[in-house]
């Protein structure tokens, strides 16, 4: 390998390592903990959300509803999301240690009246760079701080059993 080619290969390897791992771990107090690959997410029901692009126009994020992924792991939903189950939350954790908690009630669109999205594409292209392969999109938030980039793990916690 020539010097230039070696440096190019090394740069590529470093970029790959810096990316969020392309799997989502769904862990915690759930009947069916999951590890989802990008291919698994691609095969689930897909949704899009538009967010204003600060440079003008809109971004279109595409992915799977956070609620859909939790349902698949066996989290309470529909008529079972009542009473004690509403004292549950999800901690969304990123590769850089960033963490944000969402209550299960606000994640269910029939309570929170919004769809929090686990996005893997923006404007048709896979997410990359400091977004990681996966990020949350929280459409009704005025602040960006709950939009966890480089999403790696969802941890489900029941406060009341
Ligand atoms: N993993 C991770 N996600 C994060 C943050 C962070 O430090 N780490 N910062 C948050 C904050 S404060 C903002 S404003 C947005 C900024 O990202 P955006 O410009 O792509 O929305 O990311 C949010 N998500
Ligand atoms: Mo922020």
In the structure encoding, which two tokens stand for residue 77, read together? 């939903």
Give the distance (Å) from ligand 2 centre to CA of residue 39.
Answer: 30
Please give the residue range of the domain that contains residue 42: 21-158
In a domain, 12, yes or no: no
Q: Is the beta carbon of 151 within 6 A of some atom in ligand 1? A: no
Q: Is the beta carbon of 39 within 6 A of some atom in ligand 1? A: no
CB 90 within 8 A of CB 66: yes
Q: What is the pLDDT of residues 81-135, one digit of tens each?
A: 999 999 999 999 999 999 999 999 999 999 999 999 999 999 999 999 999 999 9
- With tokens 């602040």, the residue in question is 143
Q: What is the pLDDT of residues 4-42, one digit of tens each?
A: 665 556 555 555 555 545 899 999 999 999 999 999 999
Report the residue among 136, 144, 153 best suited for mutation to probe ligand 1: largest number of ligand atoms under 8 A from its CB: 144
In a domain, 3, yes or no: no
- In the chain, how many domains are there? 1
């Amino acid at each position: 390998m020539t010097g230039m080619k070696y440096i190019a290969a090394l740069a590529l390897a470093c970029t790959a390592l810096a990316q969020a791992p392309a799997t989502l771990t769904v862990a915690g107090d759930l009947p069916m903990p999951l590890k989802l690959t990008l291919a698994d997410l691609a095969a689930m029901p897909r949704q899009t959300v538009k967010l204003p692009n600060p440079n003008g126009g809109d971004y279109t994020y595409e992915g799977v509803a956070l609620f859909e992924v939790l349902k698949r792991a066996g989290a309470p939903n529909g008529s079972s999301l009542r009473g004690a189950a509403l004292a549950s939350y999800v901690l969304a954790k990123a590769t850089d240690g960033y963490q944000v908690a969402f209550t299960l009630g606000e994640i269910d669109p029939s309570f929170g009246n919004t769809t929090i999205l686990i996005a893997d594409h923006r404007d048709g292209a896979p997410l990359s760079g400091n977004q990681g392969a996966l990020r949350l999109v929280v459409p009704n938030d005025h602040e960006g701080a709950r939009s966890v980039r480089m999403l790696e793990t969802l941890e489900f916690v029941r406060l009341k059993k």
